[in-house]
Amino acid sequence: MYARVIIDIAHANVDRLFTYEIPEGLAVQAGHRVVVPFGAGNRKTEGFVLALSTETDVDWLALKPVLRTMEPYPALTEEQIALAHWMAEAYHCLLVDALRLLIPAQMRGGRVKEKTVRTVRLRPGADADAEKAALLTKAGVSRAPKQAEVIDLLGQTGTYMSTADICAFIPGAAGAIAALLKKGVLQEEGQETFRDPFRAAEAAPPGEPLPLTPAQQAAFDGIVACVKRGAGTCLLYGVTGSGKTEVYMQSIAHVIAEGGKAIVLVPEISLTPQAMERFRSRFGMRVAVLHSRLSPGERYDEWRRIRLGKVDVVIGARSAVFAPLTGLKLIIVDEEHEPSYHSETAPRYGAAEVAAKRAKLNGAVLVLGSATPSVATYKRGLSGAYQLLTLPERINRQPMPEVQIVDLRSEFLSGNNSIFSAPLHSALGQCLKAGEQAILFMNRRGYSTFVCCRGCGYVMKCPDCDVSMTYHKLEGVMKCHYCGRMACIPSVCPDCGKPYLKYFGVGTQQVEEQLAAYFPGTSAVRMDLDTTRTKNAHQELLSRFMRAEAQVLIGTQMIAKGLDIPNVTLVGVIAADSMLHIPDYRSGERTFQLLTQVAGRAGRADKPGHVIVQTYTPEHPVIGFAARHDYPGFYAYEIAMRRAALFPPYALFLRIVLSGPVEEPLAADAERCAAGLRQAIETALAGAGANPQELLFLEAAPAPVKRREGQYRYQVLAKLARTKHTAAAIRAAYAFHDAQRHVGMSDIEINPGNMF
């Protein structure tokens, strides 16, 4: 037998199958990771066996053997091998890069190991009573009462126990165990264990399924019908607080009862202990979690529990879509509109897209859930490509929170210079007086967005990046939010020397300071990138607020998701415009999503919620739709704009970024790249008999952030109409890029996550 092996080296020259002989007595299957001799020096190299074959055209003299397997079981399932082949094709990446996504990174090179604990038991054949008697003095007093207790305990359990478990029953028993081992009364063995990322949380009371509301029941029935057919994609559009999670959990329970398994994807930021608790209490130990806070050991153990069939449900962030479950029958992507489901590094996969492929390979059902579906997804729901399931109301018919729009222009004209408008100021005062909690949302960290000289117009910019630096008052420095560089605060303008420097714009630190100034004695927590850098900071700050140790939570978009805090009755959005004018065709969609999510944090229990949105453009339709909780209205407006302007989903963007230390040759490079790309795409379109106008736009230009960390950046941006010829044009672009590839040229990005 021969193994067809992909070597674990990411290089285009070796990204193909090599044949190795499987020596007698070595059990190797497709999916095994193996060590093989590779290259001229026969270096021991890791690889993935993707197939077996009974014949080979390699000369037997040149044939080398598989040296060993890395794990006793195949690390990859048959389905995952098929998935990797598909990804290499769909995302134009190396096969080995696709394969690497399928296992925990630390498994490569054997950097994580199974953990064993020391366990002991009574020597087989030993008589507990006789051994205890041997400990007694002539007078019948035990010389070693601890040892006697250990013998008793092990006699009762009759099996292996870990030292830690014994000491939980008999404090300080370690010495007694050692003595008994020495005497041969006990026997020792190492036992494989799985590190449990839930740890102390396991005491969660079992959660019972709730009786579904009629709308939930209809959604559940729709999903179950698809599960029966073993095919289909459902879009579960349900307003915030409409009970989507309950529908997910009951659908999963149904699938498990039928012998199937499920994956639930949620955005990293909403993988809070509370959210995981809900699943753990419903499904017990048959749940695995995968998120970025796991240690490599915990991640490896969760992966192994999944691979070895010990779990029915996997809940995790983006990469959990690759979880090695067999018998997959349901994949849920919650908050499907979240940009974080798209990988920003190669392979640039979209988790929902991979989920759709896995669903197909498994005969499983894909459920996309959101209160604010992306316009592309909702379009498919309306057209019938996806089955649209709707939860139009909050649970218990709780009203949506009342949203009040405040015009900051008139506030300014009436002489209010603070960042709290009069309505927000009075609402905050009432909320605090009533002992309730408030959330203040500010989409920018730091204190002021930029420092500008009112005398000469000088703006302090990062010397390495083409962006203004942000003033951080607490630390007393200027920071670049692109590269992290810090600089001192100038006391006079470095350009004209006059003391006219003024701080413009608002950040989270300034909100915190003004809160303290206007409402002295109010306790607040601030959550942004600066306060949540350490491992558990995010969770600790959040729990402080949840335990009501702070009355106000101030934060960036990281607070917008998944919080369910009953005592929050007021949400204030300090500046709704900050995201509306970002130069990206999705800025309207992102603003609507963010405002809806933030507003959804208010009034989740029996108290009504109040939301105040401050803005300089109260007449903007997107802000109006968000204030009225009108997603269908927003969708109709947005899709009409996209159609008129030919933006996705009616078109797609294709981008190559070029970067280098000197601007002029880079600009020339970008022009050459654009010309070559244009020719490649035009030729492909002509060959497919397409209208040349399908290439809507193609241009080389400086990137919106032209300099970053000392490197100049130019981009070649193409826009293609979405037609049946698009795939041919993309293939041509990839072929052109493969032939061109040189230092400083990025991959091809299709509909890049941000346009900067």
- Write down the least CB distance from residue 225 to ligand ADP, Å: 20
Stretch that binds ligand ADP, among 78-86, 106-114, 209-217, 488-496 (CB under 6 A): 209-217
What residue type is 47 in one-letter code? Answer: G
Choose between 238 and 660: whose C-beta lies nearer to ligand ADP: 238
Choose between 245 and 448: whose C-beta lies nearer to ligand ADP: 245
Beta carbons of 598 and 571 less than 8 angstroms apart: yes
- Write down the least CB distance from residue 293 to ligand ADP, Å: 22
Binding of ligand ADP by 241 (CB under 6 A):
yes
Among ligand ADP, Zn ion, none, partner that 480 touches (CB below 5 to 8 angstroms by kind) = Zn ion
Stretch that binds ligand ADP, among 89-97, 123-131, 234-242, 453-461 (CB under 6 A): 234-242
Angle subtended by helix axes 145-157 and 174-183, to nearest 10: 80
Choose between 241 and 505: whose C-beta lies nearer to ligand ADP: 241
- Write down the least CB distance from residue 240 to ligand ADP, Å: 5
Among Zn ion, ligand ADP, none, partner that 244 touches (CB below 5 to 8 angstroms by kind) = ligand ADP
Give DSSP secondary structure letters for 207-219: PPPPPPPHHHHHH
Q: Which residues pair with 19 in a beta bridge?
A: 4
Which of 482, 585, 637, 650 binds Zn ion (CB under 5 A)? It is 482
Instruction: Measure the CA–CA gap between 525 and 531, rounded to whole angstroms.
Output: 9
Which of 31, 74, 232, 243 binds ligand ADP (CB under 6 A)? It is 243
Which class for 638: exposed (0-12), middle (13-18), buried (19 or more C-beta within 10 A)?
buried
- Write down the least CB distance from residue 287 to ligand ADP, Å: 17
For 497, phi then psi, to 5°, come to 80, 0
Which of 232, 238, 401, 660 binds ligand ADP (CB under 6 A)? It is 238
Which of 483, 641, 646, 701 binds Zn ion (CB under 5 A)? It is 483
Choose between 254 and 461: whose C-beta lies nearer to Zn ion: 461
Contacts of 488 (CB under 8 A, 6+ apart): 477, 478
Q: Which residues pair with 503 in a beta bridge?
A: 451
Binding of ligand ADP by 212 (CB under 6 A):
yes
What residue type is 135 in one-letter code? Answer: L
Binding of Zn ion by 485 (CB under 5 A):
yes
Binding of ligand ADP by 210 (CB under 6 A):
yes
Measure CA 456 to chain center: 44
Which of 147, 242, 421, 437 binds ligand ADP (CB under 6 A)? It is 242
Binding of ligand ADP by 218 (CB under 6 A):
no
Binding of Zn ion by 117 (CB under 5 A):
no
The 382-421 site mask, x for binding ligand ADP (CB under 6 A), equals: -------------x--------------------------
Instruction: Measure the CA–CA gap between 405 and 363, rounded to whole angstroms.
Output: 47
Choose between 243 and 507: whose C-beta lies nearer to ligand ADP: 243
Closest CA to 562 of 244, 339, 204, 218: 244
Among Zn ion, ligand ADP, none, partner that 246 touches (CB below 5 to 8 angstroms by kind) = ligand ADP
What residue type is 35 in one-letter code? Answer: V
Token pair 């407006």 in the structure block, residue: 637
Among Zn ion, ligand ADP, none, partner that 465 touches (CB below 5 to 8 angstroms by kind) = Zn ion
8-state DSSP, 495: T
End-to-end CA distance of the chain: give it in Å, rounded. 52
Choose between 31 and 222: whose C-beta lies nearer to ligand ADP: 222
Beta carbons of 311 and 286 less than 8 angstroms apart: yes
Binding of ligand ADP by 381 (CB under 6 A):
no
User: What are the tokens at 436?
Assistant: 């309730």
Which of 8, 46, 131, 246 binds ligand ADP (CB under 6 A)? It is 246
User: What are the tokens at 527?
Assistant: 């959550």
Among ligand ADP, Zn ion, none, partner that 443 touches (CB below 5 to 8 angstroms by kind) = none
Which of 4, 33, 132, 244 binds ligand ADP (CB under 6 A)? It is 244
Binding of ligand ADP by 516 (CB under 6 A):
no
Strands (E), 54-114: 68-69
Beta carbons of 507 and 445 less than 8 angstroms apart: yes
Among Zn ion, ligand ADP, none, partner that 395 touches (CB below 5 to 8 angstroms by kind) = ligand ADP
Q: Which residues pair with 653 in a beta bridge?
A: 719
Measure CA 7 to chain center: 29
Q: Which residues pair with 334 in a beta bridge?
A: 369
Instruction: Measure the CA–CA gap between 291 and 294, rounded to whole angstroms.
Output: 6
Choose between 210 and 636: whose C-beta lies nearer to ligand ADP: 210
- Write down the least CB distance from residue 281 to ligand ADP, Å: 12
Token pair 């899709």 in the structure block, residue: 639
Among Zn ion, ligand ADP, none, partner that 462 touches (CB below 5 to 8 angstroms by kind) = Zn ion
Stretch that binds ligand ADP, among 71-79, 206-214, 260-268, 653-661 (CB under 6 A): 206-214
Contacts of 312 (CB under 8 A, 6+ apart): 252, 256, 261, 262, 283, 286, 287
The dihedral sign for the CA sequence 179, 182, 185, 187: positive
Longest Cα pair distance anywhere in the chain, in angstroms?
Answer: 105
**Range 438-467, binding Zn ion (CB under 5 A):** 462, 464-465
- Interface positions with ligand ADP (CB under 6 A): 210-213, 216, 238, 240-246, 395
- Interface positions with Zn ion (CB under 5 A): 462, 464-465, 480, 482-483, 485
